[in-house]
Chain A
């Protein structure tokens, strides 16, 4: 158990819908990262937050957004969902940017 929690574990929804994925980092970790794992793209970095502020963006679609709250948990919002958004979404946390990242169990999203 890494100490990073993600909810829900599984999510099934329809095209055009909007979903929210939640991540609670390890106690004491200020950095939160979101990654997407899909069959065609592999594991890709989406976005990074540090102590509530966005630090870096990767290959994140405009339909996706995220935020980190004062209690340091983070949410990833996916809207206007398409079939191709079906993937495993991981959250990771670390004490700081150069520290080891610990991954949550992931949220498996299926868009029908």
Chain B
């Protein structure tokens, strides 16, 4: 079964400091992993996705995530936070690669607050 655990429900950082949002996953298959962001009263936007290529994945707006199979982790990082990064972030795992299904399994989300 597929599942993700986001280890922090809230993260607060100052503008210009690094961001780390932690995610552990569980998957019965070779996983596809994603980070989505949801700004207030907005839909979900894809930040980045990991399939099977490079373990360090670069996304939009300076975010990146590293797939670590040995640790079953897929943490999201950004070197320098910006006020516009304040939002809710979801770590997501899908049905495994090669599956004919494409269900997404969402973590509970991490609310990122950025202080000026």
Binding site for B on A (CB under 8 A): 2, 31, 33, 35, 42-45, 48, 55-56, 58, 90, 92, 94, 96-106
- Measured CB to CB, the nearest residue on chain A to B99 is A97
Contact check: which of B43, B99, B101 meets A90 at CB < 8 Å? Answer: B43
Docked Cα-Cα span, A97 to B76, in Å, equals 24
- Measured CB to CB, the nearest residue on chain B to A43 is B106
Docked Cα-Cα span, A1 to B12, in Å, equals 28
Minimum Cβ distance to chain A for residue B72 (Å): 20
A105-B104 in contact (CB<8A): no
- Measured CB to CB, the nearest residue on chain B to A105 is B43
Kindly state the interface size class of chain B when it binds its partner.
20 to 34
B103-A48 in contact (CB<8A): yes
Query: With A31-B102, A45-B104 given, is the CB distance from A98 to B97 under 8 Å?
Result: yes
Binding site for A on B (CB under 8 A): 32, 34, 36, 42-46, 49, 90, 94-95, 97-109
A97-B43 in contact (CB<8A): no
Minimum Cβ distance to chain A for residue B58 (Å): 15
B42-A105 in contact (CB<8A): yes
Minimum Cβ distance to chain A for residue B40 (Å): 12
B44 cross-chain contacts in A, Cβ below 8 A: 90, 92, 103
Query: With A98-B97, A103-B43, A106-B43 given, is the CB distance from A58 to B49 under 8 Å?
Result: no
